[in-house]
Structure 1
Amino acid sequence: MTALFPAELAWYATGRFYQAGDGTLADYGYFLHLPFPDVPLFDGDPGEKTAHFTFAARPFKAREIRNGALSLGLDPIGEFSLYLQRQPAGTFDDPASFAQGECIATFRRTSLAVGTTVAVSIGAVSAPLIGTNVFSARLVASTSFDFGGGRHDLGQHVGRGVTQFGTAAATPIAPPPAYKLVLPFTGSAVALGRAG
């Protein structure tokens, strides 16, 4: 296994933020790229239902502050895990489906994460335009696994963790039952590398 250099690309991910009826938030989705050479990420055409590698966050409650056209979501320190689904079963209609299979790694955000939504005003109407965020997360657990003809361990590639940069659409998607808001997003992460 080849370790990534610090700040070298670790992954591309896409998913959706879900707000439940009780106000808790969580994000779920799948990976478009991981640092596993020659490992199939999809069982067929790329998409949520064919993704072998998925992620799911532990639900959390965020606070919000406003600064003019900026809406800032303050997400507390929290954890998310990556899963290997040998038989892909993820669907955005059931976010919990992304937390199935074998847990191959768990990360914990190192600090508060601030998400920024930019609004645009046209006359008397103000509408959200786009959202961004960035956070660092330390690897707290990693498990070796066999897949695609080789043995892999995410911790051997990313070292101590990742820093992820995210972009979210501000236009909601119709939510599944038990949720009141859903927003799609994409994220790209770079490796923190090893200490010293």
Structure 2
Amino acid sequence: MTALMTAELAWYATGRFYRANDGSLADYGYFLHLPFADAPLFDGKPSETSAHFTFAATPFKADGIDNGALSLGLDPVGQFSLYLQRRPGATFADPASFAQGECIATFRRTSLVVGTTVAASLTSASGAILGTNVFSARLIASNPFEFAGKLYDLAQTVGMGITQFGTAATTPVAPPPPGYDLVLPFTGSAIALGRAG
């Protein structure tokens, strides 16, 4: 297993932000690339339903600030986990399905996350083209696992954690699943923090 160098690409992910009826937010999705040489990421044509590696965030409440045509979403420090689904079956119709299988790692964001949209936000997703955000997250738990005949461990590849750059659409996915009133698709790319020292 090869360790990534600091700032080397760690993953590509895609998923959706969900706002629950109580106002809490969370994101769920799957990986298009991971630093696992030779590990099959999909069981068939790439999609959420065939993805072996998924992620799910712990729900949180966010604040916001408006600055002219910019709307800034302020997400607190929080956690998200990665899962190995040996039998894929996640679906965007059921966000909890992305938190199935074996938890292989958990990350904690190191600070407030500021998401920016032009003329719209998660509370008003009209009139904007896209939104962006950047955050760093420390790896707080990693569970080695065997898959497709090899042993993998995120702690050995990404080191201390990742920095992710995200882009989100501002056109909601309709209809949202029961219990949610807004769903927005996004993609993210992350680089490795590497090892301390």
1:23-44: per-residue Cα shift (whole Å, max 9, x none)? 0000000000000001000000
2: CA distance between counterparts of 1:181 and 1:65? 19
1:141-191: per-residue Cα shift (whole Å, max 9, x none)? 000000011000011000000000000001001111100000000000000
Question: Match of 1:21?
Answer: 21
1: CA distance between counterparts of 2:114 and 2:86? 34
1: CA distance between counterparts of 2:185 and 2:134? 16
Bigger strand share: 1
Aligned residues: 191
> Which one-letter code corresponds to 2:156 in the other structure?
Q
Stretches of 4+ moved more than 6 A in 1? none
Question: Match of 1:64?
Answer: 64
> Which one-letter code corresponds to 1:94 in the other structure?
D
| TM alignment of 1:167-182, pairs within 5 A | 167-174=167-174, 175-182=176-183
Please, which runs of 5 or more residues in structure 1 have no aligned partner? Answer: 121-125
2: CA distance between counterparts of 1:31 and 1:91? 14
Question: Match of 1:123?
Answer: none
Question: Match of 1:102?
Answer: 102
2: CA distance between counterparts of 1:77 and 1:103? 20
TM-score (norm 1): 0.96
Helix, strand or coil at the partner of 1:155: helix
Question: Match of 2:135?
Answer: 135
- The alpha-carbon deviation at position 119 of structure 1 amounts to 2.7
Structure 1 contact 119–130 (Cα < 8 Å) conserved = no
1: CA distance between counterparts of 2:92 and 2:80? 17
1:78-130: per-residue Cα shift (whole Å, max 9, x none)? 0000000000010000000000000000000000000001139xxxxx71221
> Which one-letter code corresponds to 2:17 in the other structure?
F
Question: Match of 1:188?
Answer: 189
Helix, strand or coil at the partner of 1:98: helix
TM-score (norm 2): 0.96
